[in-house]
């Protein structure tokens, strides 16, 4: 019987001998590769924190002590050690979430899976424990060096350092990467700290040398003291953290369970906030991940575990179209530059960076800074294109509103994975963007439906210099072309059904929902209705021609994969009301709720975003 099979809770981890803990680490890596290769998920980050997570559960008593994982994509080992070892349906409906989840376990606390928030959570929890007399309860926050580039993390550090008796341990999981190599001044500082791993060894050697030569004289003692001070000042500049008021321990080998446990116990017993600097290797113990330089194993689909190759090669996707088109635009427009928030490859900017490295800016996990810096670049005469996942747009709303829009900055924000993403869970669905940016004065938003409309939208967006533009597209492969049969006053008409008499229905499909709108239109036409199906690429502000089309209908159906509350449909309705159009609307989109992890198709079915459901609702609305 293996060690892993005997682990049912953290108390079992605390009973392990050193040899058993080392064996457990090996078994965990085997389990992760075998399981995640079948389901997909975050493999590289979890392989890198196996020993660290074991040590955390050896030292801290979860859930009495609280463990907070920044972002949470490295929490698979934590799930296993807290009794959740059925990974057969990981990230699937009814199975384990790919991130920490309060619904799954009392050992999970923070589940929003957006980076750089853990230290604020930990500060608040530790302050709560301290004020309520819980001096024996501790908080440990695990934050990666990538997440530490986010400004929110430093706001938290500033406050944590001011609380000298806070029972809080900050573990910096330093692997030099997030989705990509960590960048910026912090990365250079941590690089320097990494280079000092031999510091303690040098001191140990000096002490042993002095002992071998007999009792050290004053000169030898002074030399050793000077060596220590010189090394600390020159090659171990931990002062950045200590100057804040934080006790610093490290750097520690993140794959040495004994050293990790010893450092964490020292930190726990200190009686105030301590930062433990741990060095790990992402993908540790799995050869394909260790050899990978493009970080393909950060998040994977099903793979062959022996080779690391995907079981089903990726189909040509939306991100690939953007990648190709933005590089073409950059070759023609020297003023076009690109910005990414630590996700160069995932958002499709690798080709741009290869061709124009001096025109790409990776700002780290700092979406707020990205938008305001882009506004500054626009003022200086450039046209910046910021590429990010749609879910992360939420973090920079204030900057879009007051730095970009108020100043009429000509910037373009490209939103990858807009709409329902499914298996990443509540915080990663890109369902908020259209409702959020719809209230921003002067902002224009495009929702292309296929490859040609995406390419066209990008080219139109970078021509706009008097305000921000947003271009959104979904996750996954590009569907078939959906050509317009007619362009009517700037509105793409995808299909028209019926003669000149009967119930008139206008169906609006926003972006990726255009194909569903066409299907709905065909089904309604079979019910002897006169149907016009439209899908304008630019949907915000609402085109006046769209309101004119609505005025000629007996029913308007809007279909979108964002929030139905304050979404595109509601704005078309509002503009129609202003114009005196009183036609009834049937608006379909995502409800105002947090959508649990499931496939995109399952989520759409739950939201009644299927042709049969919408047709049935339309017939009821028309009393048919």
**pLDDT tens string 235-247:** 444 566 777 778 9
Whole-number pLDDT of residue 43? 86
CB atoms within 10 A of CB 10: 23
Domains, in order of start, for the chain: 4-196+236-291 (3.40.50.970), 197-235 (no CATH), 318-472 (3.40.50.970), 486-621 (3.40.50.920)
pLDDT band at 181 (very low <50, low <70, confident <90, very high): low
Alpha-carbon distance 168 to 160, whole Å?
8
Those residues with Cβ within 8 angstroms of residue 174's Cβ, 6 or more apart along the chain or in another chain: 144, 145, 190, 193, 194, 251, 254, 277, 278, 279, 280
pLDDT at 272 over 80: yes
Higher pLDDT, 305 or 173: 173
Those residues with Cβ within 8 angstroms of residue 180's Cβ, 6 or more apart along the chain or in another chain: 295, 342, 343, 344, 345, 362
For 472, the 3-state DSSP assignment is: strand
pLDDT band at 109 (very low <50, low <70, confident <90, very high): very high
146 is in an annotated binding site: yes
341 is in an annotated binding site: no
Nearest Cα residue to 263 out of 440, 59, 549? 59
Angle, to 10 degrees, between the axis of helix 257-269 and the axis of helix 18-39?
100
CA distances from 292 to 47, 266, 295 (A): 14, 35, 6
78 is in an annotated binding site: no
Alpha-carbon distance 71 to 436, whole Å?
23
Alpha-carbon distance 393 to 406, whole Å?
17
Whole-number pLDDT of residue 135? 67
Backbone phi and psi for residue 274, each to the nearest 5 degrees, phi listed first = -135, 140
Beta bridge partners of 417: none
- Residue 211 burial by Cβ neighbours in a 10 Å radius (0-12, 13-18, 19+): exposed
Those residues with Cβ within 8 angstroms of residue 405's Cβ, 6 or more apart along the chain or in another chain: 440, 441, 442, 443, 467, 468
106 is in an annotated binding site: no
Higher pLDDT, 179 or 364: 364
73 is in an annotated binding site: yes
Whole-number pLDDT of residue 315? 65
Quote the pTM value. Answer: 0.85
- Catalytic positions, written as ranges: 282, 367, 395
209 is in an annotated binding site: no
176 is in an annotated binding site: no
Of the ranges 158-162, 177-181, 231-235, 477-481, which one carries the lowest mean pLDDT score?
A: 231-235
Whole-number pLDDT of residue 81? 96
Nearest Cα residue to 273 out of 200, 177, 172? 172
220 is in an annotated binding site: no
CA distances from 302 to 84, 117, 308, 428 (A): 20, 30, 9, 20
């Amino acid at each position: 019987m293996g060690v892993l099979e005997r682990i049912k809770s953290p108390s079992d981890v605390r009973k392990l001998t050193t040899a058993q803990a080392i064996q457990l680490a090996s078994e965990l890596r085997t389990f992760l590769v075998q399981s995640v290769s079948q389901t997909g998920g975050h493999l590289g980050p979890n392989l890198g924190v196996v020993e660290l997570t074991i040590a955390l559960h050896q030292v801290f008593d979860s859930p009495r002590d609280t463990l907070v994982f920044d972002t949470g994509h490295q929490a698979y080992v934590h799930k296993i050690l807290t009794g959740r070892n059925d990974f057969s349906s990981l990230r699937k409906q009814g199975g384990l979430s790919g991130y920490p989840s309060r619904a799954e376990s009392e050992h999970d606390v923070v589940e929003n899976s957006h980076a750089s928030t853990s230290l604020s959570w930990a500060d608040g929890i530790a302050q709560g424990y301290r004020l309520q007399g819980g001096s024996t309860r501790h908080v440990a926050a695990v934050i990666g060096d990538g997440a530490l580039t986010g400004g929110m993390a430093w706001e938290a550090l500033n406050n944590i350092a001011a609380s000298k008796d806070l029972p809080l341990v900050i573990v910096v999981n330093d692997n030099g990467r997030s989705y990509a190599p960590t960048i910026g001044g912090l990365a250079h500082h941590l690089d320097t700290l990494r280079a000092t791993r031999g510091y303690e060894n040098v001191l140990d050697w000096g002490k042993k040398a002095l002992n071998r030569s007999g009792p050290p004289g004053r000169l030898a003692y002074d030399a050793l003291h000077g060596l220590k001070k010189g090394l600390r000042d020159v090659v171990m500049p931990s002062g950045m953290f200590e100057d804040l008021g934080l006790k610093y321990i490290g750097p520690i080998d993140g794959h040495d369970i004994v050293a990790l446990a010893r450092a964490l116990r020292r930190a726990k017993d200190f009686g105030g906030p301590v930062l433990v600097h741990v060095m790990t290797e992402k993908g540790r113990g799995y050869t394909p991940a260790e050899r990978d330089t493009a970080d393909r194993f950060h998040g994977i689909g099903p793979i062959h575990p022996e080779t690391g190759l995907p079981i089903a090669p990726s189909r040509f996707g939306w991100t690939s179209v953007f990648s190709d088109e933005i590089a073409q635009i950059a070759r023609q427009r020297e003023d076009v530059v690109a910005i990414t928030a630590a996700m160069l490859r995932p958002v499709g900017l690798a080709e741009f960076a290869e061709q124009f490295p001096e025109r790409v800016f990776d700002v780290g996990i700092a979406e707020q800074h990205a938008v305001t810096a882009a506004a500054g670049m626009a003022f200086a005469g450039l046209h910046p294109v910021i590429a990010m996942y749609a879910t992360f747009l939420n973090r920079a709303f204030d900057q879009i509103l007051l730095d970009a829009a108020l100043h009429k900055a000509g910037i373009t924000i490209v939103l990858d994975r807009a709409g329902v993403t499914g298996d990443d869970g509540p915080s990663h669905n890109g369902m908020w963007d259209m409702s959020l940016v719809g209230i921003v004065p002067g902002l224009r938003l495009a929702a292309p439906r296929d490859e040609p409309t995406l390419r066209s939208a990008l080219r139109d967006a970078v021509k706009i210099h008097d305000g921000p533009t947003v271009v959104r597209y979904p996750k996954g492969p590009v569907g078939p072309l959906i050509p317009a049969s007619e362009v009517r006053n700037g509105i793409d008409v995808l299909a028209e059904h019926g003669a000149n008499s009967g119930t008139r229905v206008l169906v609006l499909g926003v972006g990726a929902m255009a194909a569903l709108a066409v299907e709905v239109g065909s089904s309604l036409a079979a019910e002897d209705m006169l149907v016009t199906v439209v899908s304008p690429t630019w949907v915000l502000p609402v085109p006046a021609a769209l309101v004119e089309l609505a005025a000629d209908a007996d029913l308007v159906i809007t279909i979108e994969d964002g929030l139905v509350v304050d979404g595109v449909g509601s704005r078309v309705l509002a503009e129609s009301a202003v114009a005196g159009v009183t036609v009834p609307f049937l608006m379909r989109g995502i409800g105002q709720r947090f959508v649990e992890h499931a496939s995109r198709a399952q989520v759409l079915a739950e939201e009644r975003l299927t042709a049969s459901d919408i047709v049935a609702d339309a017939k009821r609305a028309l009393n048919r």
